[in-house]
Amino acid sequence: MADTLRGNLVVAQSGGPTAVINNSVVGVVDEALRHACIEDIYGSFRGIGGILDENLMDMRKEDPRVIRGLRSTPGAGLGSIRLKVKDHHIPRIVEVFKAHNVRYFFYIGGNDSQITSHDIETLAAQEGWEMRVIGIPKTIDNDLPETDHCPGFGSAARYTATTIRELDRDNHSLPYVYVVEVMGRDAGWMTASAQLAKVDERTGPHVILLPESPFEPQKFLDMVQKDVDRYDRCVIAASEGIKDKDGNLVAAADTVDAFGNRQLGGVGQTLAENIEERLGVSARWTKAGAIQRCAAHLASPSDVEEGYMVGLSAVRAAVEGENGKMVTLVRESDHPYKCTTGLVELEKVRGRTKDVPLEWFDADEMEMKEEFVKYVTPLAGPIPEVSILDGHFVGKKCEPWQDPTKK
Amino acid sequence: MADTLRGNLVVAQSGGPTAVINNSVVGVVDEALRHACIEDIYGSFRGIGGILDENLMDMRKEDPRVIRGLRSTPGAGLGSIRLKVKDHHIPRIVEVFKAHNVRYFFYIGGNDSQITSHDIETLAAQEGWEMRVIGIPKTIDNDLPETDHCPGFGSAARYTATTIRELDRDNHSLPYVYVVEVMGRDAGWMTASAQLAKVDERTGPHVILLPESPFEPQKFLDMVQKDVDRYDRCVIAASEGIKDKDGNLVAAADTVDAFGNRQLGGVGQTLAENIEERLGVSARWTKAGAIQRCAAHLASPSDVEEGYMVGLSAVRAAVEGENGKMVTLVRESDHPYKCTTGLVELEKVRGRTKDVPLEWFDADEMEMKEEFVKYVTPLAGPIPEVSILDGHFVGKKCEPWQDPTKK
C-alpha cells in the first residue's frame, strides 16, 4: 500500500474482563505480526493506566505458546482498570504515544472505552499526530449499540443458562424457591439469557426479572406463589439492577427496599428474604459475582471465535487506513449462524447503550419470548442437556402414612 | 447361586444432591437388570419420603435413553429429601417394603442416610423380613469415614478449583481482595480443594480458611495485608463453616461476628466487609451456593465413573448376600490412579465423620500441603490451564505522570 503508516502499536484492555477478552488481544497480536508497517507491539499494563504510567509490555518478547494460551484464559491478560478517563488524561496519552512512536492504538472495552478511543483520536488529529485508533467491543452486558452483539456476552449467556439449567435440577431434587442474582446493572441481556436454561414448562427459570422492566413487588410475589402451587418450587433469574417504577434500585445498599424493608444484601438476598417472609416458603439465593464473567471453561465457541476475529479485523482496518471506528459484529444469517465484522464511527457509538427490547419480554409471564431465544441461541452455543424421568408410579398397597408424632 | 433372594428393589437418594449422584442410580438400575432374582426396580420419589408415602416409580418403564441421560444430569433424578429419619419412621418403612415385596434396598446418601440404612436393616432382621440393605456413599463434603473419598466430592473439588483459578485471573486483571465462600459447614474438604487452583506463588488462592482450623481474626487480616503488599491483591477461599477458637461460627445469622460486629450476611460478606473496614482495601465476595454441588458440566471424570461403580457394586454385593454394609472407595494406586470398591459394616460408619487432617494444612501460610494436593488431584481431575504473560516492560521515555487534578 502506498500510504502505509509505519510505527508501533499499543493494545489495551479496559473495565470488567470477560471469558474471551484475551482472544481480542491475541487477534491484534497475530494480525499485527503479518504487517511489516507495524514495528513494536506493546501491551499496555492495566488499560489506560499503563499508558499514563508508561507501563508498556513488549509482546514480541512473550513466548508464542503463552500468547496462544491466552485464548482460553479468562480475565484481562494485560491487566485492566476501572479508571474513568477524563479530558485531562487525553493529552498525556497522546504524549506517551508520540514518545513511543505509537501509530496504532486498539482499545478493547465497553461504552466508556469507546469514548476514550474517540477522544484520543480527536486530540491526536488536532495535534497533527498521525495515528489510527480503533475500538474493539467487549462487554458481558451486551449493551453497545451498532453491533449485533458484543464479544464476551455469548459466554456470559452460556454460563447463565448452563448454571440455571443445572440449578433447576438441584432445585427439583429439593423443592424450594431459588433466586439467582445475575450481573448486569443496567442492561438485562445476561439475565434474559437464563431463558435458554428452560427445558419444558415445568423447568426453570420460572421467573425472569430484567432491569428494563419495572419491578412490581406484588405481581412478583403472586407469580412466585403461582409457580410454587403448580410446581412445588420456583427458580428466579433476577438482574442485580432491577428497579421499581420510579427507577430506584430494588436492592441498593443502605436503603429501604421495594417491599418496604431495610435493605441488607443484594437482590438475591432481598428477594429471598421477602419471599420467605411474605409467602412463608423456603427461599435460597446465590450471588456468583465475578464468576459469571470469567467462566472460560464454559466459553461459547462462537464467542471465542468472534472475540479473536474482532482483534484481527481491527488491525486490518487500521492498516488499510481506517481511523476513529469501532469494530462491529454483523449477523449474516441464523441458520447456519454466520457472523462477519463491520465498522462504525466511534462518534455514533459514544454515550449510547442498547437495552433488551421490551417487546422481546413477556412481562405478564415474566419470561423471554421466542424472538430473544432466536437471537441469543447461536451466541451462547450449546447448553448441556439434562435428563428428566417420566415417573411411572406404582399402585399403593398400604394405608396412607400418618406420622404418629404429629396429630 | 443357591440362596438367591428373589424380590423387588428400591433405590432412593437423600440429602443435598451432587453433580454425579445420578450415576449411582444408573449403576443400581443397570446392575439390577442383569440379575433375574431382582424383579421390579423402584425409584423412591424424594428419598425416604417416597417410601413413607408409597411414591414408588417403576424404573423399568422409563425410556432407557432417559436413564442413560441421568449420568450427565446433576441433582437427584429421583428427587431427594432433608427429612431427619427418626426411630418411629423405621417400622413404616419396613411395612411398605413388606407390602411391595422389597428385598433389596439401596440408599444413596451421606452420614444420616447410612444411619437410616442401618436402622432399616436392624428392624427388618428383627421382624424376620429377609432383605439386603446396602448404603451407597454420596457427599460433596467428603466426610464419610472408612472410604478413601466419597462420590460427589471430586466434582465439587473440580468446580472449586476451576472457579478459583478463573476468578484469580479476573482478580489479577482488576486487583482487589476477593472472598469465595465455599460450601461445607463442618468439613473443609471442598475449601481445601481450592489449593489445586494455584498455578504459582503469585496466583490464588492466597488464603484458605478451613472449619477444622480455628479462625483468628488478626492473623487472618495480617495475612491478607501481606498478600496485598506483595501481590496487590488477595484471593481467599473460605469455608462457610469457619469457627473461632471457642467453636462459634464466624458468620451465623443474627450474631456478633468474630470481629465484634453484628453479622449480616454469610462468611463471604462478613470477611469482605471487615477487610474493607480494617484494611481499607476494596473487597468483593461471591456465594455460589448450590451451584457448587450441581455443576455437572465440570464433573470430574473419575467421580462420574466411581459414582456409577458404587451403584453397580452395591447391587452385586447384595445379590451375593451382603447386608448392612456401605460401599467404600479403595484407592489402589496414585500413579496411575486406580480405585476399586470395598464394603464396610454400616455400624462402623454410623455417627462418624472425617475431617480434613490438620497435618495436611499449613496454618501459618494458610494453605494446603503437598500431601493433600496428592490426595485430591486424581479425584478432581483436570483443571483448565491458564496462560500468564511474563511482562517484558520497555524503557520509559516521558516524565512520570502527575495527574494535574491531584496535588
Residue B223 belongs to a domain with what CATH number? Answer: 3.40.50.460
B282 and B315 in a single domain? The answer is no
Residue B328, domain CATH = 3.40.50.450
Q: Helix, strand, or coil here: A1? A: coil
**Under an 8 A CB cutoff, do A54 and B397 touch?**
yes
**Under an 8 A CB cutoff, do A296 and B384 touch?**
yes
What pLDDT is stored for residue B175 in this prediction?
93
Residues of chain B with Cβ-Cβ distance to A403 below 8 Å are 88
What confidence tens digit (pLDDT) does each residue in A344-390 have?
999 999 999 999 999 999 999 999 999 999 999 999 999 999 999 99
A44 and A118 in a single domain? The answer is yes
Closest CB from B74, B384, B396 relative to A169 = B74
- Does residue B403 lie within any of the structural domains? no
CA distance A19 to chain B (A): 9
Distance CA B26, CA B43 (A): 11
Residue-range definition of the domain harbouring residue A29: 7-152+297-349
A88 and A198 in a single domain? The answer is no
Q: Does B295 touch chain A (CB under 8 A)?
A: yes
B46 and B20 in a single domain? The answer is yes
Instruction: Assign A2 a pLDDT band (cuts: 50, 70, 90).
Output: very low
Q: Is the pLDDT of residue A42 over 70?
A: yes
- ipTM reported for the complex, 2 dp: 0.96
Q: Does B262 touch chain A (CB under 8 A)?
A: no
Q: Does A269 touch chain B (CB under 8 A)?
A: yes
Residues of chain B with Cβ-Cβ distance to A300 below 8 Å are none
- Does residue A405 lie within any of the structural domains? no
Distance CA A315, CA A9 (A): 10
- Taking residues A175-203, report their average pLDDT: 96
- Does residue A218 lie within any of the structural domains? yes
Q: Is the pLDDT of residue B124 over 60?
A: yes
Q: Is the pLDDT of residue A257 over 70?
A: no
Distance CA B304, CA B324 (A): 25
Number of independent structural domains in chain B? 2
Active-site annotation holds for A303: no
Contacts of B250 (CB under 8 A, 6+ apart): B215, B242, B243, B244, B257, B258, B267, B270, B271
**Under an 8 A CB cutoff, do B172 and A70 touch?**
no
- Does residue B390 lie within any of the structural domains? no
What pLDDT is stored for residue A1 in this prediction?
47
Catalytic residue of the set A112, A119, A141, A257 = A141
Residues of chain B with Cβ-Cβ distance to A70 below 8 Å are 387, 389
B339 and B362 in a single domain? The answer is no
Instruction: Assign A185 a pLDDT band (cuts: 50, 70, 90).
Output: confident
Contacts of A92 (CB under 8 A, 6+ apart): A51, A52, B401
Residues of chain A with Cβ-Cβ distance to B172 below 8 Å are 75, 79
Q: Does A173 touch chain B (CB under 8 A)?
A: yes
**Under an 8 A CB cutoff, do A294 and B62 touch?**
no
What pLDDT is stored for residue B255 in this prediction?
59
What is the bridge-based pairing of β-strands A56-58 and A38-44?
Answer: antiparallel
**Under an 8 A CB cutoff, do A173 and B17 touch?**
yes
Q: Is the pLDDT of residue A254 over 70?
A: no
Instruction: Assign B1 a pLDDT band (cuts: 50, 70, 90).
Output: very low
What pLDDT is stored for residue A259 in this prediction?
65
Q: Please check whether residue B14 is in contact with residue B136, taking contact to mean a CB–CB distance below 8 angstroms.
A: no
Residues of chain B with Cβ-Cβ distance to A381 below 8 Å are none
Q: Is the pLDDT of residue A406 over 90?
A: no
A16 and A124 in a single domain? The answer is yes
- Does residue A45 lie within any of the structural domains? yes
**Under an 8 A CB cutoff, do A394 and B58 touch?**
yes
B232 and B159 in a single domain? The answer is yes
**Under an 8 A CB cutoff, do A393 and B76 touch?**
no
B199 and B242 in a single domain? The answer is yes
Distance CA A332, CA A378 (A): 12
- Does residue A208 lie within any of the structural domains? yes
Chain B window 316-355: which residues touch A at a Cβ cutoff of 8 Å? none
Q: Please check whether residue B257 is in contact with residue A254, taking contact to mean a CB–CB distance below 8 angstroms.
A: no
What confidence tens digit (pLDDT) does each residue in B217-273 have?
999 999 999 999 999 999 999 999 999 999 999 987 655 656 666 555 689 999 999
Q: Is the pLDDT of residue B2 over 50?
A: no
DSSP string, A90-119: HHHHHHHHHHTTEEEEEEEESHHHHHHHHH
DSSP string, A251-305: S-TTSB-TTSSBP-S-HHHHHHHHHHHHH---EEEEE-GGGGG--GGG--HHHHH
Q: Does A57 touch chain B (CB under 8 A)?
A: yes
Distance CA B116, CA B48 (A): 9
**Under an 8 A CB cutoff, do B295 and A163 touch?**
yes
CA distance A17 to chain B (A): 7
B160 and B23 in a single domain? The answer is no
Best B179, B196, B292, B389 member to test A by mutation, with max A CBs in 10 Å, is B389
A216 and A288 in a single domain? The answer is yes
What confidence tens digit (pLDDT) does each residue in B90-99 have?
999 999 999 9
B28 and B121 in a single domain? The answer is yes
- Does residue A388 lie within any of the structural domains? no
Considering all CA atoms of chain B, what is the largest pairwise distance in Å, rounded to the nearest integer? 93
What pLDDT is stored for residue B157 in this prediction?
98
A214 and A274 in a single domain? The answer is yes
Burial class, B37, CB count within 10 angstroms (exposed 0-12 / middle 13-18 / buried 19+)? middle
Residues of chain B with Cβ-Cβ distance to A162 below 8 Å are 297
pTM: 0.96
What confidence tens digit (pLDDT) does each residue in B316-363 have?
999 999 999 999 999 999 999 999 999 999 999 999 999 999 999 999
- Does residue B274 lie within any of the structural domains? yes
- Taking residues A392-404, report their average pLDDT: 96
Residues of chain B with Cβ-Cβ distance to A298 below 8 Å are 297
Strands, E assignment, B215-373 = 234-239, 283-287, 325-334, 337-345, 361-362, 367-368
Closest CB from A285, A391, A396 relative to B54 = A396
